[in-house]
Amino acid sequence: MKNVNLFQKNNSINSKAIAIAMFFILIIFSHLTIQAQNNSVKIEPVNFSNVNVTDNFWKPKMDLVATKTLAACIYQTEEKTPRIRNFEKVARKKGEKHEGVFYDDSDVFKALEAMAYAIKTSHDKNLEAKADEWIDKIAAAQLEDGYLNTFYTLTGLDKRWSDMSMHEDYNAGHMIEAAVAYYDATGKRKFLDVVIKWANYFDSLFGPGKRDWVTGHQELELALVKLYRVTNDKKYLNLADWLLSERGKKLAKGYTWTEWKDTAYAQDVVPVKEQKEITGHAVRAMYLYTGAADVAAHTGDQDYVTAMRRVWEDVVFRNMYITGGIGSAGSNEGFTNDYDLPNEQAYCETCASVGMVFWNQRMNSLTGNAEYIDVLEKSLYNGALDGLSLTGDRFFYGNPLASSGKNDRREWFGTACCPANIARLIASLGNYIYGYSNGKIFVNLFVGSNTNFKLPNGDLQFTMATNYPWAGSMKCTLNMKKKQSVPIAFRLPGWANGIPAPGQLYFYDNNTKDEKPIVLVNGKEVNYQIENGYVLVQQEWKNNDVIEYKLPMEVKKIMARDELVQDNGRIALQRGPIVYCVEAADNNGKAWNLIAPSNSTFTTEAFSVVDEKVISLVANLPVVQLGADGLSVQTMVQKIRAIPYYTWCNRGSNSMQVWLPTTFKHEKINN
């Protein structure tokens, strides 16, 4: 009996030992799986919380967002509109009516996300207290089962999840993004716990073997991946992947998009992995492909990567403005036919340019190719930044490339997605500057800043100083305790390498000089390699080494393919990443009466638009005036000034053009 008992005891011990061993094996396997997933990422962006921005150009804008822009968002959210009031009504449980639009919750969450970034960079305790106040109200509005949506909670819970176009999941996606950002910035878990409860509730309803669901306005997919990254709970990644797989299955039952002929509006005609063309609503598309890239980064699913490349080429090669703006039509806030890029009627929603920044960052991360950052930079400095006034408290929803003087910046909008969206982008700028992968440092954007890289041989403090985008020189100082042999890759922008945009939709005129970047290490010029659009500098580094990276910054004239009929016989001006325009405020009250012959010469001149110090472009150009009879024309030479596109319409409504005619055309010359 003793032998039997001993055997049983040993067997029990062995079982426990095996169980413990299996547990640790699973942990190790899980860790290795995560590492394998991360191997799909060629460049891992350095998180904003680890980057200190000191830049002459961007730091004042980040400070402006942290004060003026967020103050405007808070005022509109609390005082002028019922957005916060709806959360308070849910918490009171008195049967009060919902006010506003069914997707208004999302604006609260986007503003909170921007507040999180600003709190991290500005350390503003009052802003943090305001954010905590909002979070308390949001948490109080969450139902016991995890559901959180003020519209359906106040209008009838029996109707929830009955209509895929009613933004329940879109609102929640922005809520998740805000909570992750707030946890990252402050370490506080309350908001994060709210969204985890919501995500678990959603997962209990939808997924394989449960209910089908197609997100009407994509956003939840990318948000769930962010939640996965912060919690390491793989069910959120799986849920994001499943949501992507639901598209294109003809699950349109449950949509109320009766005004649209088909589901191309929400990129739901064919499965994501089979998509080849950009269709429908521009912001929905950007969020969809950002989410697909995020999933691919963790699963290694190359079908997503292949599909996104096809669609990306369709966007950039045939459907993108020179400003990086996308979505030419206001009728569907999105895409029409290839090469349909009108200027005065351009929609180019600010949110769509923000989405271009998101998507192109993910594509760069997945592929390691710098051309995606070229597009990101174009959208960031032009199409997106134009959406925010120089005073920080007025906004553009659409961003046309020509105006007869009827456009103006607004304090707010009924659909107010753009103000908080541009705020969260600028506040989180640190996310886009640096990257790291496999022992290599990447400098993607040229923004004065500093960060710390933890390398196998010790820490390396990287400090960049620059007057970019007005000057093309970057001075980078390296500080370390031990010598390092890490390669450093500086992006070689397409605009500095003869390519104003990938795909030859746009090209420089024949007079453009071909100049190469210069790299100096401690004052001595060094050789470099070019790899995937990066200038690669490799040597052993020691403490206080200084790298100077110099890019040519001449004024360049851009022309468009013949298919862009609106731009035939016209040129656009660019210097560095900045696209320029001619505005009436600087040119005797007119912007449509000038001619910019192909042999015209533009020079640089320091200038101020309101209080924004910029580099303007000037030239002596022919201008045309109508005679007294309204038929005859007179031509005279006048000094014409072009200003950065992002600064226009900050001195009141007036006419503007990005594409300048090279010959006289009898059109709106009085504007």
Query: What confidence tens digit (pLDDT) does each residue in 205-256 have?
Result: 999 999 999 998 999 999 999 999 999 999 999 999 999 999 988 664 555 5
Do 178 and 29 share a structural domain?
Answer: no
Do 625 and 584 share a structural domain?
Answer: yes
Q: Distance between CA 249 and CA 252 in Å, rounded?
A: 8
Lowest mean pLDDT across 272-281, 455-464, 619-628: 619-628
| Cβ burial, residue 527 (10 Å; 0-12/13-18/19+) | exposed
Q: Distance between CA 435 and CA 58 in Å, rounded?
A: 19
Do 5 and 91 share a structural domain?
Answer: no
Among 550, 568, 597, the domain boundary falls at 550
What DSSP state is assigned to residue 76? I
* Other Cβ atoms within 10 Å of 20 Cβ, number: 10
Sign, CA dihedral 20-26-27-29, equals positive
Q: Distance between CA 105 and CA 134 in Å, rounded?
A: 12
The H or E element containing residue 205 is helix 190-205
Residue 506 lies in a domain: no
pLDDT over 50 (residue 22): no
| Mean pLDDT to the nearest integer, 589-603 | 94
Specify the CATH number for the domain of residue 242: 1.50.10.10
| Mean pLDDT to the nearest integer, 26-54 | 66
Do 467 and 370 share a structural domain?
Answer: no
Q: What angle do CA 391, 396, 400 make, to 5 degrees?
A: 125
Among 503, 533, 550, the domain boundary falls at 550
* Cα–Cα distances in angstroms (integers) from residue 386 to residues 46, 290, 390, 408, in the given order: 26, 22, 9, 12
- Of 269, 287, 373, residue with least CA distance to 327: 287
555 and 602 in contact (C-beta within 8 Å)? yes
pLDDT digits (tens, 9 = 90+) for 364-382: 999 999 999 999 999 999 9
* Cα–Cα distances in angstroms (integers) from residue 514 to residues 115, 343, 468, 484, 496, in the given order: 43, 29, 20, 34, 8
Q: Distance between CA 263 and CA 459 in Å, rounded?
A: 51
pLDDT at 138: 98
Specify the CATH number for the domain of residue 474: 2.60.40.1180
Residue 499 lies in a domain: no
pLDDT at 416: 87
Do 439 and 545 share a structural domain?
Answer: yes
pLDDT at 668: 66
pLDDT over 50 (residue 28): no
Do 617 and 540 share a structural domain?
Answer: no
Q: Distance between CA 73 and CA 114 in Å, rounded?
A: 10
Residue 125 lies in a domain: yes
Q: Taking the C-alpha atoms of 63, 65, 66 and 72 in order, what is their torsion angle to the nearest 10 degrees?
A: 140
Structure tokens at 172: 């929640």
Residue 500 lies in a domain: no
pLDDT at 588: 94
Residue 668 lies in a domain: no
The mean predicted confidence, pLDDT, of the chain is 91
| Mean pLDDT to the nearest integer, 300-329 | 97
Residue 576, helix vs strand vs coil = coil
Q: Between 36 and 552, where is the model more confident?
A: 552
Q: Residue 648 is part of which domain span? A: 555-661
Residue 462 lies in a domain: yes
Q: Distance between CA 476 and CA 260 in Å, rounded?
A: 52
Q: What angle do CA 263, 268, 271 make, to 5 degrees?
A: 150
Do 293 and 153 share a structural domain?
Answer: yes
Q: How confident is the model at residue 670 (pLDDT cuts 50, 70, 90)?
A: low
pLDDT over 50 (residue 345): yes
Q: Which amino acid is at 18?
A: I
Do 142 and 220 share a structural domain?
Answer: yes
Q: Distance between CA 3 and CA 283 in Å, rounded?
A: 72
- Of 429, 428, 351, residue with least CA distance to 396: 351
585 and 654 in contact (C-beta within 8 Å)? yes
pLDDT at 164: 87
| Cβ burial, residue 618 (10 Å; 0-12/13-18/19+) | middle
Residue 405, helix vs strand vs coil = coil
Q: Distance between CA 337 and CA 343 in Å, rounded?
A: 15
Do 478 and 382 share a structural domain?
Answer: no
37 and 300 in contact (C-beta within 8 Å)? yes
Residue 581, helix vs strand vs coil = strand
Give the phi and the psi of residue 319 in degrees, each rounded to 5. Answer: -140, 25
Residue 376 lies in a domain: yes
Task: Kindly write down the DSSP assignment for every residue of 116-153, as one continuous string.
Answer: HHHHHHH--HHHHHHHHHHHHHHHHT--TTS---HHHH
What DSSP state is assigned to residue 30? H
Do 464 and 404 share a structural domain?
Answer: no
Do 162 and 31 share a structural domain?
Answer: no
Residue 671 lies in a domain: no
pLDDT digits (tens, 9 = 90+) for 148-199: 999 999 999 999 999 888 999 999 999 999 999 999 999 999 999 999 999 9
- Of 471, 389, 401, residue with least CA distance to 426: 389
Among 507, 528, 550, the domain boundary falls at 550
E strands present in 438-495: 440-443, 449-455, 458-466, 473-480, 488-491
Antiparallel, parallel or unpaired: β 488-491 and 440-443: parallel
Do 193 and 139 share a structural domain?
Answer: yes
Domain count, the chain: 4
Q: How confident is the model at residue 625 (pLDDT cuts 50, 70, 90)?
A: confident
Q: How confident is the model at residue 648 (pLDDT cuts 50, 70, 90)?
A: very high
Q: Distance between CA 446 and CA 427 in Å, rounded?
A: 16
623 and 593 in contact (C-beta within 8 Å)? yes
Beta-bridge partners for 348:
none
Sign, CA dihedral 606-514-365-541, equals negative
26 and 393 in contact (C-beta within 8 Å)? no
Q: Distance between CA 500 and CA 557 in Å, rounded?
A: 10
